[in-house]
Each structure stands twice: as structure tokens, then as C-alpha cells.
A = this chain, B = another copy of it.
Amino acid sequence: MIYFNCDYNEGAHPAVLQRLTETNFEQTIGYGNDAYCEAARELILTKCEQPEAYVQFLVGGTQANFTVIASILRPHQGVLSADSGHINVHETGSIEATGHKVLALPSEQGKITAKQVRDAVLDHWRDGSFEHMVQPGMVYISFPTEVGTLYSKAELTELYAACQEMNIPLFIDGARLGYGLTAPENDLTLPELAALCDVFTIGGTKCGALFGEAVVITNRNLQRDFRYLIKQRGGMLAKGRLLGLQFEALMKDDLYFTICGKAVEQAMTIKAAMLEKGFACSAEAPANQQFFILPNAALKQLEEKYVLEHIGRVDDKHTNVRVCTSWATTDENVNAFIADVMAL
């Protein structure tokens, strides 16, 4: 079977594996205080143009999300998120397990707006019984979103202005940041994105690493004691250098963007073929995840050879399906898939 269901089916980019292999017997101190982590941090700060940001590496995305959120909120505060947000639906209540409510906002195409944030905060304070309700304490978005869409520079600028006006931090989950930034439609650079939030992550797991997420805290008020939280919540890797080595390899010579950009191109090729074949997209997704409404018969036929992800039932005869490329996707598989689609 050929897997197009997600972007974590393979191991790591060979450059990453090579670094792990060639440094294998070096001795370093643990917990992310080694020279490789330091070098990776420097590379990230430089690329983000955020010399005073604070960078830590965690193993996984769920971990990164709840550690960041638990670190920022006071006990009576919640996090505003699109109702379709990953933290609201697919992390088994990990935010609530830290004691905080996810304040879900209805979303179009996986995104929330500056107006929604402003209204949520103002409505909270306007209500006479505000102490009886969870106080909005921060905003969570992802880039790309859960349905593969992107915030434009204008949208993010407005959203962050609203956050600053409302005095609540903005956190961008960048589990697929590489695919978002290299999407043709995207008009945000990494430094721009870094400047338009208080904390964000650079996802490694889905973008060429074996595993790992870099948390970048640009807001100095949110940096204090963050490593305690990482340790307490289980995110501190004993052999922390494994994370530093991977991010160093990915950031060096912009490998991260090169390999993600390639995957986006492949996704665009698939999208074009699907549209040509007459299948509709269920979301305006310009990056490596594509969502199609497929007739069940066609889907069944494709699934003899390909693994695709079922997002949901559309009606009796159609299913919403995700097709995903990654840094590891081969042109051969893309071509085979397109040929089989065309032959349906």
C-alpha cells in the first residue's frame, strides 16, 4: 500500500539521520543544555529575526501545545480556539487535563477572526457575572489550520492587533509550519509570523525530523521557568541533543523549507489532477494537506492501492477525504496516484 493519509508515515530526512549517526558516540550533557541544542537555537533565532526569543525543544505536538498553554494561563483562564482546532478535538482533552477550558469559537475554514477574539473578550467583561465564566486568557491558532487553510498576512496582523488590544497572548501551533510557509499562496515570511505572535512552534515531526517541535517564545514575559513546565509535563528528553541535532540539520541551508516546499508542489499537482477529474475540494487548502469530496465508489477503488484519511461522511454517496504529501513523498507515488485517479 502507498500511504497518502498523513505526513508522519516515514522516518526522517537522511540528513537528519546522518547527523544522529555521526554524533552517536559523542558524550554530551542531557536535557537540552548541550551545544547542539544551542546551535539549533541560534539558527532558529537568526532565521526568525528574534534575537531575544527563547527556544526550547519538545518531543511532540500535543505536549508542546499543553505545555505552552499551561505555562501561560492562570487557573481561571481558558484558551480561545477555533472549534475545529486540534487542541479542541484531537488531543484527548489534554488542555482540560491541565485544568483549563478550551473556549471554542465557530470557525469558517478552520480560522478565527480578530473580531471574534475582540468580541469574546469584550463580551466576557461586559457580562455582569464575569466571575462565573472562564476568562479568555490567550488565543490558539494553527498555521496551517486543522483543515489545511492559511491565515494571510493581513488576517494575522489584524488578529494579533486584537490580541494585543485585548491584552492576551497569541500562540501559533506550527506543527506543519514548513508546509504553510512554502505554500505558493502564503504571503507571510518566518520573521513576519514570529513578530505577529507571542509564542509559536516550528514543527519537526511532520517536516523531516524523526520527532520534535521547537517552541519559540518571543514575548519575554512568557519565558520564565518554562523548562520546569517541560520537565513536569513529561516533555524534557533525557538525550536532548537528539532534538538539537535534528533541528540544526533541518535549519541548515534551509533544508526545512526546501523539503516542505517540494511536498507542497506535489500536493498542488495532485489537487490539479483531482479538480481536473471533477472532484471538489472541501477546504481552501493551499499546502500539503488536500481535502476532497470523493464518491464512495471511486474512494473504494483508490483504497485498493492507497491509504487515505477519512475526515467525515458528506452524504450517502460521498466522503470527505484527506490526501497528504510530505518531505518523504516520492514523485513516483504522486504520479501513480494521479494516473489511477485519471483512470477512475
Identify the A interface with B (CB < 8 A): 1-3, 5-6, 8-12, 14, 17, 20-21, 23-31, 59-63, 66-67, 70-71, 74-76, 78, 89-94, 96-102, 128-129, 131-135, 205-206, 210-211, 225, 227-239, 242, 307, 310, 328
8 residue pairs bridging A and B, Cβ less than 8 Å apart = A8-B30, A10-B24, A14-B24, A71-B74, A75-B229, A90-B132, A92-B133, A92-B134
Contact between A238 and B61, CB atoms less than 8 A apart: yes
3 tightest A-B CB contacts, nearest first: A63-B234, A76-B228, A11-B24
Residue on B nearest A89 in the bound complex, by CB: B133
Contact between A239 and B28, CB atoms less than 8 A apart: no
Our pick among B78, B92, B231, B242 for the contact of A231 (Cβ within 8 Å) is B92
Q: Inside 8 A of A24's CB, which chain B residues have their CB?
A: 10-12, 14, 17
Q: Inside 8 A of A10's CB, which chain B residues have their CB?
A: 24-27, 239
A10 nearest CB across to chain B (Å): 6
Q: A75-B232, A92-B134 are in contact. List 20 more A-B contacts (CB 8 A).
A: A1-B27, A31-B131, A59-B59, A62-B231, A66-B234, A75-B97, A76-B93, A76-B231, A76-B232, A89-B133, A90-B129, A92-B131, A92-B228, A92-B232, A96-B100, A131-B227, A131-B228, A131-B230, A210-B242, A211-B237
Contact between B232 and A91, CB atoms less than 8 A apart: yes
Q: Are A225 and B93 CB-contacts (below 8 A) given A3-B27, A59-B237, A211-B238?
A: no
A34 nearest CB across to chain B (Å): 10
Contact between B101 and A78, CB atoms less than 8 A apart: no
Q: Inside 8 A of A25's CB, which chain B residues have their CB?
A: 10-11, 328
Query: Chain copies in the assembly?
Result: 4
Q: Inside 8 A of A61's CB, which chain B residues have their CB?
A: 238
Q: Are A28 and B14 CB-contacts (below 8 A) given A90-B133, A99-B99, A234-B60?
A: no
A246 nearest CB across to chain B (Å): 11
Our pick among B8, B66, B135, B225 for the contact of A225 (Cβ within 8 Å) is B135
CA distance A20 to B3 in the complex (A): 19
Our pick among B3, B11, B17, B21 for the contact of A239 (Cβ within 8 Å) is B11
Q: Inside 8 A of A71's CB, which chain B residues have their CB?
A: 74-75
CA distance A134 to B129 in the complex (A): 29
A286 nearest CB across to chain B (Å): 23
CA distance A70 to B77 in the complex (A): 13
Contact between A235 and B234, CB atoms less than 8 A apart: yes
CA distance A25 to B329 in the complex (A): 10
Contact between A9 and B21, CB atoms less than 8 A apart: no
CA distance A198 to B235 in the complex (A): 26
Q: Inside 8 A of A205's CB, which chain B residues have their CB?
A: 238-239
Q: Are A93 and B66 CB-contacts (below 8 A) given A11-B242, A24-B11?
A: no
